[in-house]
Structure formats: C-alpha cells, structure tokens
Amino acid sequence: MAFHFDLILLLQQLINGISKGSVYALIALGYTMVYGIIELINFAHGDIFMLGSFTAISALELFGVNTKAPANETLKDPVVVVAVLFLSLVITMVAMGLLGVLVERVAYRPLRNAPKLAPLISAIGVSYILQNAGETWRGPSTVNFPAVFVEPLLQIPTLDPSRFLTIRSKSILILVVSLILMALLTQFVQRTKMGKAMRATALDRETATLMGINVNMTIALTFFIGASLAGAGGLLYGMFIRGVQFQLGFQAGLRAFTAAVLGGIGNIPGAMLGGFLIGLVEALSDNYLQSQWTQAVVFGVLILILVFRPSGLLGQRVAEKV
C-alpha cells in the first residue's frame, strides 16, 4: 500500500488520540490507586465506568434532556448546558463513588488478609455482577446516549485550502474536564491530610495503623475517588460516542488497565501518562496500520514495556521487603 505522509491527518489523529487517552487516563487512575493501596487489580473497575455512563443517562433525563428521541436530545441555551452537565457530572461521580465503596466493603474488605488470589477472583465475580446489572437495567443492545448539545466543530484552516483540521468541541471538553480532575486529585494526594494518609497506607499498611491512621476509611476513600473518576469518564465518553452498551466496561477496562501498567502500576502520574499514550497508540495504529491490528498493537506495546522496563515507565524499582 502506497504510503504518503499526510501531516494534516497525523495531527487529526493525534487530537483523536488525546481525547481517547483522557478517558483511559481517568479510568486508569482508579486501577492504579487501588493497586497502590491494597495491591489488588480491581477487575470490576471497567464496569463501574460502564455503569457511570448508564447513570449519566438517568441524570441527564432528570434535568430534562430527552434521551429517547434523537431529534430533541439537545439543549439550546449554553448556560443551561453547562449547568446540566456540571450537575450530571456531580451526580454520576457521587453515585459511582458510593458504588465503589460498597463493592470494597462487600467484596474486598472481608478478604483483606486472605491470600492475594482471593480478592482477585472476587473482583472478577463483581465484574460479572455489575455487567449483568447493566444488562438488566438498560438491555443488551446499544443504548442511545444523548448528544446533550449540538457541538460546534472547530475547523482550523490548513495550508491545503480544501482541508481542515477538525477539532470537536467535545474533545476539548473531555480533555479540559479530565485535566481538571487529575489536577484536583494530585493536589488532594500531595497536599491534604487524607491524601497523606493514602500515601502512607500505600507505603506500609501496618505502620500506618500504628500512626493512628484509620486504614478502613482511607481505603474506602481511595475506592470512592477511583470509582468517581471512572464515573466521570463514563459520562464524558458516552457524550462523545453517543452510544453505550453493557459490555463497554470490558474493553475500556482492559485498555485502561494496560495504560496503568504501562505507566507503572501504583503510580498516579504514571496512570495519566499511560492513558494518553495508549490513546495515541490506538489512534496511530488505526491510521497507519489497519483497525483490526489495533488491539494487538496495544497489547504488544504493553509486552514490550514489561519486558524492558517491568515497573512501567514511571514506576520506581522498590526493593523487596524481606
């Protein structure tokens, strides 16, 4: 196949990759935080992302967005749009956060002192339960997610007068909201007392107890934050692709997990970096190779990183505790 270098297309795909990547980063943060604090790969996390998008549909309905008829699923007034989106985001994040706390309390806390395999299997079980809950709730077919607002397309003129670089305003929205949430998270973890407690618990759980940290609360908070970020991702993603389905969590969760491992599992900036990288890899693979190879490429990248740098890109080599 003749390869001709198309700069405009490359830039377009970089933009696509970054907006995909922001969603993966949000989900990856949940994986990485939970692993950091209790060394569990929470397989149910991707399904919380899916339930987040389902919940977002209900939240939007609450505010008067018609989710059934595609013709009138958009709001006109920009102020109303911002208000509705903000409130729906808050509702979705809180709802998913609480779900995350519930899952931890019921499925993982009783197994906290069990061998590592037990909570892992439990997580797989929770994943199935959540998927089935999603299927029972909204059915097995693709569900319509309202567009919410008619998005203006930002068309940047290029040197070629017939072609434009198209940036969807929703891409910008996703990127901005994700960056804000990630910044808030970083501030929380680095600057607040609860954040310090989280870091301490992740470092050494027993000693943290000795220091007077309420470990149960800290872990519950970690799950709350992780799940709420996944919920936010669910709303943003649903609004972007305008359709969600109960098996969405599986694929998205797998890519986000790859992103978390790529960046160094347990490392928060690593998860963000990993998310953006995986998004870019996907977009470039769809473009230069063919889309049927994209999954293979993403996991190929993961394997390469793990072979040459097992702790991930930003992970630190921690000496094994004896």
Say if residues 241 and 129 touch (Cβ distance below 8 Å): no
Identify residue 41 by its one-letter amino acid code.
Answer: I
Closest distance to other proteins from the beta carbon of 298 (Å):
11
Q: Least Å distance between CB 167 and other proteins? A: 10
Non-local (6+) Cβ contacts of 266 within 8 A are 32, 35, 36, 202, 315
Q: Is the dihedral of CA 248, 251, 254, 259 positive or negative?
A: negative
Q: Which is nearer to other proteins, 113 or 162 (CB)?
A: 162
Q: Using an 8 Å Cβ cutoff, are 1 and 193 in contact?
A: no
Q: CB-based contacts of 13: which residues, under 8 Å, 6+ apart?
A: 283, 284, 286, 287
> C-beta of 240: minimal distance to other proteins in Å?
8
| CB of 99 or CB of 248, closer to other proteins | 248
- The residue among 143 and 182 lying less far from other proteins, judged by its C-beta, is 143
Shortest distance (Å) from residue 191 CB to other proteins:
34
Report in angstroms how near the CB of residue 128 gets to other proteins at its nearest.
Answer: 8
Q: In terms of CB distance, is 145 or 224 closer to other proteins?
A: 145
CA distances from 95 to 24, 102, 184, 231 (A): 20, 11, 19, 8
User: Are 244 and 92 within 8 A, CB to CB?
Assistant: no
- Least separation in angstroms between CB 62 and other proteins: 21
Per the CB < 8 A criterion, the answer to whether 36 and 202 are in contact is yes
Rounded to whole angstroms, the Cα distance separating 103 from 8 reads: 45
Q: Say if CB 275 and CB 256 are below 8 A apart.
A: yes
Is the distance from CB of 39 to CB of 116 less than 8 angstroms? yes
Residue with Cβ nearer other proteins (58 or 142): 142
The token pair that represents 89 in the structure block: 């985001």
Residues making contact with other proteins (CB under 8 A): 6, 8-9, 12-13, 16-17, 19-20, 70-71, 132, 135, 139-144, 151, 153, 163-164, 166, 168, 170, 237, 240-248, 250-252, 282-283, 286-287, 290-292, 294-295
Residue 156, strand partner residues = 165
Task: Report in angstroms how near the CB of residue 141 gets to other proteins at its nearest.
Answer: 4
- Which is closer to other proteins, CB of 31 or CB of 240? 240
Q: 20 or 45: whose CB is closer to other proteins?
A: 20
Q: Which is nearer to other proteins, 63 or 164 (CB)?
A: 164
Q: How far is the CB of 2 from other proteins (least distance, A)?
A: 12
Pairing verdict, β 148-149 and 74-75: parallel
Amino acid at 118: A
40/112 Cα distance (integer angstroms) = 10
